[in-house]
């Protein structure tokens, strides 16, 4: 069974440029998460989807970040415009559903560097 | 006070020793607790979860939970150099049904 797929793996952009990350969750997983992980810190939740509905986006900086999960499968996270402080690893995770006892499986992440 | 706190380390133990990793959390309503291992440059992978007070053993790993003290720990017996990684404690908080991670403890096992 394929795991969570993310692309690109690495991205280097100049500040004020837009950037987008893509995630394909494990087949059959209804819940999808986007996390941000800064160096030396644990992942922090940005947004959680139940199928195509964003049910928790309270930590998403909505002035510059947006996300979508069309058809309840793949998801895209966008930043426009990017700032220096956005340099981090963006992790996508999925779980079977929102049951709090279900395991979350993480993708390899996208390492973003903003110059 | 952070929601989930861990000692950042590094915690250094000799090969074959027991490594003890600790985590405290602030949300008394939390019901499920997870330990993730993260190798440098890699994504987190789940190694243990625990829901009930007491101990849970899986191979060389033992998770311990004390809800009254709001404390979770992970013991790694017979530590191996391959166990060297960052160990993240994650707590499913009651509000918002979301997973909150600690900053992680760096473990170094010396051969």
pLDDT at A71: 87
Q: What CA–CA distances, in Å, run from B64 to A43, B34, B56, B57, B77? A: 22, 11, 6, 9, 14
pLDDT at B65: 97
Beta carbons within 10 angstroms of residue A47's beta carbon: 23
- Within 24-83 of B, beta carbons closer than 8 Å to A belong to 31-32, 34, 42-46, 49, 51
Whether residues B101 and A43 touch (CB distance < 8 A) is answered with yes
Would you call B97 an interface residue with chain A, using a CB distance cutoff of 8 Å? Answer: yes
Q: Which tens digits make up the pLDDT trace of A69-90?
A: 988 899 999 999 999 999 999 9
Which tokens sit at A106?
């993480």
Residue of A nearest to B34 (CA): A103
Q: Which tens digits make up the pLDDT trace of B49-87?
A: 999 999 999 999 999 999 999 999 999 999 999 999 999
Beta carbons within 10 angstroms of residue A17's beta carbon: 13
Q: Is 70 exceeded by the pLDDT of residue B1? A: no
Q: Which residues of A touch B44 (CB under 8 A)?
A: 43, 91, 106
Q: Which tens digits make up the pLDDT trace of B6-45?
A: 999 999 999 999 999 999 999 888 889 999 999 999 999 9
pLDDT at B96: 64
Q: Which tens digits make up the pLDDT trace of B99-111?
A: 999 999 999 999 9
| Spatial CA neighbour of B19 closest among B62, B65, B57 | B62
Instruction: State the Cα–Cα distance between residues B109 and B31, nearest whole angstrom.
Output: 31
Kindly state the DSSP code that residue A107 receives in the 8-state scheme.
-
pLDDT at B42: 94
**Confidence class of residue A21 from pLDDT cuts 50, 70 and 90?**
very high
Whether residues B98 and A101 touch (CB distance < 8 A) is answered with no
Residue, of B86 and A1, whose pLDDT is higher:
B86
Q: Which of B34, B72, B98 to mutate to test the interface with A (most CBs of A within 10 A)?
A: B98
Q: Which residues of B touch A42 (CB under 8 A)?
A: 4, 88, 90, 101-104
Residue, of A114 and B31, whose pLDDT is higher:
A114
Residue of A nearest to B95 (CA): A56
Q: Which tens digits make up the pLDDT trace of A33-66?
A: 999 999 999 999 999 999 999 988 989 999 999 9
Tokens 């426009």 map to which residue? A80
User: How deeply is A29 buried, as exposed, middle or buried, from its count of CB atoms within 10 A (0-12, 13-18, 19+)?
Assistant: middle
Contacting residues for B60 by C-beta, under 8 A, at least 6 apart? B76, B77, B78
pLDDT at B93: 83
- CA distance to partner chain B, nearest, from residue A80 (Å): 25
């Amino acid at each position: 069974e394929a795991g969570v797929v993310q692309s690109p793996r690495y991205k280097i952009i100049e500040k004020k440029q837009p950037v987008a990350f893509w995630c394909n969750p494990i087949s059959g997983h209804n819940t999808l998460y986007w996390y941000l992980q800064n160096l030396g810190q644990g992942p922090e939740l940005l947004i959680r989807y139940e199928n195509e509905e964003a049910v928790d986006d309270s930590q998403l900086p909505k002035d510059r970040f947006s996300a979508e999960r069309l058809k309840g499968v793949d998801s895209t996270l966008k930043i426009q415009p990017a700032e220096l402080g956005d340099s981090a690893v963006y992790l996508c995770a999925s779980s079977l559903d929102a049951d709090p006892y279900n395991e979350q499986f993480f993708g390899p992440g996208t390492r973003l560097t903003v110059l | 006070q952070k929601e989930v706190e861990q000692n950042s380390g590094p915690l250094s133990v000799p090969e074959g020793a027991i490594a003890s990793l600790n985590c405290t959390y602030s949300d008394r309503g939390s019901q499920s607790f997870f330990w993730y291992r993260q190798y440098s440059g890699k994504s987190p992978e789940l190694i243990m979860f625990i829901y009930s007070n007491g101990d849970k053993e899986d191979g060389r790993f033992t998770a311990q939970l004390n809800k009254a003290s709001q404390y979770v720990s992970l013991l790694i017996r017979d530590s191996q150099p391959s166990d060297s990684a960052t160990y993240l404690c994650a707590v499913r908080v009651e509000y918002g049904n979301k997973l909150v991670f600690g900053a992680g403890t760096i473990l170094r096992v010396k051969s």
